[in-house]
A and B are shown apart, each in its own frame.
Chain A
């Protein structure tokens, strides 16, 4: 019995593009992004333990426009991965797997991740007294 020419999965190019597909790969991509983001958490905590000079460096770098852009990206990635992770946990109970439901929950996840990101940033600027 030959094992060389069996059909392989996945053959991405034979599938019609689906909204749920995009959400699935974005879940992985945000996961990798968040893994990179843990380096910022390490830096932040170690700098806090190191003293006020190191901590000020972190705060200054993160307050720059590129720092804020990175933080914005990480905020959205966190909320997306969190919301879509909850969607996955619901699927693990065997619920919500029907295609129309899975599509709908995908829209909810995408919308919720954006709304929560905006809410967190508005709250952050308000906490600073900038709004």
Chain B
């Protein structure tokens, strides 16, 4: 039982802290993903059934490598933000919620790095 008033307890806990940045980044990555996903789908359609050499040659084109890296950054950032909202909405046990957000953030970052390294290896290596 706290003697503090409800407004006193609520102050500083609301979305006025970092929520705006989260909301804004979700929209910016969404806008970026409109052309990037359309490009990716068209590229994948062209690569349907492609062998390794064809796929590598495609990714070795500088424009494709650049767009692929941009797609990776935007996708995993957008995914991280979206999954975090869902965890915060549906998981009510504080400890589990924080643990899941940490795991989700690290996993998103790790997957993005794995994709990025793979793209760079293919585009620089051969």
Contacts and interface: CB of A to CB of B under 8 A. Distances in A.
Instruction: Tell me if chain B binds chain A.
Output: yes
A92 B27 contact: yes
Contacts, number: 89
Interface stretch (A13-21, A44-52, A97-105, A107-115): A44-52
A104 B46 CA distance: 33
Nearest to A52: B52
Contacts of B51: 52, 55-56, 59
B48 A32 contact: no
Given A32-B83, A32-B86, A49-B117, A78 B55 contact: no
B37 A78 contact: yes
Interface string B65-105: 00010000001100100110010000000000000000000
B20 interface: no
Interface of A: 1, 3, 28, 31-32, 34-35, 38-39, 41-42, 45-46, 48-49, 51-52, 55-56, 59, 63, 75, 78, 82, 85-86, 88-89, 92, 120, 123-125, 127-128
